[in-house]
């Protein structure tokens, strides 16, 4: 079947996709390569390049061959080399044309959702598992990066990175020392648990101090937060050519003692008493004034993306950043998706400020998503797609939403015209910088 690329908005010149591990290696290891799977990705990559679109490939976006899942999960270090073997097959098969690689998508989120909350396979409910899973995912990433460096980089001249989830975090009371400290703990545990090791070779000192002390208080002889030996520290430190940056929303942070009344606490854990979430000793929540998407966790907070980009710049040496996910959910049947349009307008404005005003080293941006997709446990009940997909049509007809037309205009002229919207907008948003045009490279604030 030919690859259809007629739904790319405007001058879009990059497409992020993931390569399915079970589709390429159905047995899990490299003993049998499914050529039909390789051929599918070859057709996709070739079609992208023929149309001037850069392929940005993710090697692991959480799908694992059943043959491996029956023996191992990410609590087992055996997966590190199995993943490295899969990455080698990907580099060897596609690296002559794919020059931008992401090893693993959102290690922390994968660890929490699959091994603590237990919503995704292997459906484990263990608040103490997160550290071990992240530890092995970091090893897998570093092993794949160093393997590419040793075997493929000279001939293929590509770049390899990793995509991190990155929530905006702000103190509930910016004048409160307790809230500032609670927010710093949240930064170090949520973003620092992966970003700090790949930049500096070890976990954040604050995170190490807290977990080590709590482990000791619990009577444990070994910290719940594993250590990297010197060999792994050397492998992990600097194991990126760019960092992928997935961003959607923001959270306010205070201490449990100062938690506001009648506000739902955000807990990404099966336990509020022990484990990764409890170790942070904070209370995270959403401001009730922030507009909400179809997904409860997604709030309209455009200033937060600029804040997190500056956090990367200030804490991690201003690495090259590619925004690999950013988007807004709505109902599937909504075509005039003005809520999503507003979201992209405001968030892109903040990304441009981060680049042109703050000097953040952002080199790329990917919207989530081009088409309606299966949104994990939400299935098809919500949509992030710039294009509606008719699932009842055998050819899966695509219909561009208002947001797709808007982004096509932005990509075509690198700016935006004033948009006069009807009163039937899908979301009533009156928010920060909503009506300010996008900054051009010669403008600042």
Using the CB atoms, write b or e for 411-431: b if 16+ within 10 Å.
eeeeebeeeeeeeeebbebeb
Dihedral sign (CA 41, 45, 51, 54)? positive
Q: Catalytic pick from 251, 294, 325, 350?
A: 325
251 is catalytic: no
Other CB atoms within a 10 A radius of the CB of residue 397 amount to 12
Strand order in the sheet with 14-18: 14-18, 54-60, 100-105, 159-165, 242-246, 321-325, 362-365
Q: Show the tokens assigned to 181.
A: 């400290």
Instruction: Give the Cα separation of 279 and 177 in Å (integer).
Output: 19
Strand partners, 227: none
Q: In Å, how far are 3, 137, 329 from 61, measured between CA atoms? A: 22, 12, 20
- The residue behind tokens 């995704």 is 120
Q: How far apart are CA 313 and CA 321, in angstroms?
A: 9
- How far apart CA 225 and CA 25 sit, in angstroms, is 32
- Look up 106 and say whether it is catalytic: yes
Catalytic, out of 106, 170, 251, 375? 106
C-alpha distances in Å from residue 301, one per residue of 34, 304, 347, 402, 416: 44, 6, 8, 21, 20
For residue 92, give both structure tokens: 């060897």
Residue 64: closest CA among 122, 119, 16, 142: 122
CA 185 to chain CA centroid, nearest Å: 20
> What interhelical angle do 338-356 and 402-413 show, nearest 10?
30
Q: Helix crossing, 205-217 with 192-200: angle to 10°? A: 120
Closest CA to 364 of 76, 104, 159: 159
**How far is CA 17 from its chain centroid?**
13
DSSP at 103: E
- The catalytic residues are 106, 325
């Amino acid at each position: 079947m030919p690859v259809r690329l007629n739904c790319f908005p405007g001058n879009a010149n990059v497409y992020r996709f993931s390569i399915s591990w079970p589709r390429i290696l159905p047995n899990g290891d490299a003993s049998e390569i499914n050529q039909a799977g390789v051929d599918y990705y070859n057709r996709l990559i070739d079609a992208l390049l023929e149309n001037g679109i850069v392929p940005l490939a993710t090697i692991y976006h959480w799908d694992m061959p059943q043959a491996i899942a029956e023996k191992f999960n990410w609590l087992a270090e055996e997966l590190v080399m199995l993943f490295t073997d899969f990455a080698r097959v990907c580099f060897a098969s596609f690296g002559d044309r794919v020059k931008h690689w992401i090893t693993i998508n959102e290690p922390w989120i994968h660890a929490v959702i699959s091994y603590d909350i237990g919503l995704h396979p292997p459906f484990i409910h263990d608040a103490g598992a997160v550290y071990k899973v992240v530890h092995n995912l970091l090893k897998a990433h570093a092993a794949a990066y160093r393997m590419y460096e040793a075997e493929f980089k000279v001939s293929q001249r590509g770049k390899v990175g990793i995509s991190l989830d990155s929530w905006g975090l702000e103190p509930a009371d910016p004048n409160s020392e307790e809230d500032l400290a609670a927010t710093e703990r949240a930064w170090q545990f949520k973003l620092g648990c992966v970003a700090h090791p790949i930049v500096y070779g070890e976990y954040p000192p604050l995170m190490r101090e807290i977990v080590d002390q709590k482990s000791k208080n619990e009577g444990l002889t070994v910290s719940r937060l594993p250590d990297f030996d010197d060999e792994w520290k050397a492998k992990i430190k600097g194991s990126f050519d760019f960092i992928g940056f997935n961003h959607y929303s923001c959270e306010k942070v205070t201490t449990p003692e100062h938690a506001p009344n009648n506000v739902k606490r955000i807990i990404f854990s099966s336990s509020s008493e022990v484990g990764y979430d409890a170790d942070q000793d904070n209370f995270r929540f959403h401001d009730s004034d922030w507009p909400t998407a179809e997904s409860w966790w997604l709030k309209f907070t455009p200033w937060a993306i600029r804040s997190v980009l500056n956090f990367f710049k200030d804490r991690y040496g201003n690495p090259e950043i590619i925004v690999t996910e950013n988007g807004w959910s709505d109902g599937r049947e909504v075509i005039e998706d003005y809520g999503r349009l507003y979201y992209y307008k405001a968030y892109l404005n903040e990304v441009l400020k981060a680049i042109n005003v703050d000097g953040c080293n952002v080199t790329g941006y990917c919207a989530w998503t081009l088409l309606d997709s299966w949104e994990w446990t939400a299935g098809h009940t919500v949509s992030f797609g710039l294009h509606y997909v008719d699932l009842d049509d055998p050819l899966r007809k695509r219909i561009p939403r208002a947001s797709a037309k808007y982004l096509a205009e932005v990509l075509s002229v690198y700016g935006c015209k004033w948009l006069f919207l009807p009163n039937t907008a899908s979301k009533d948003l009156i928010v920060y910088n909503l009506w300010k045009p996008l900054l051009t490279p010669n403008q600042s604030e």
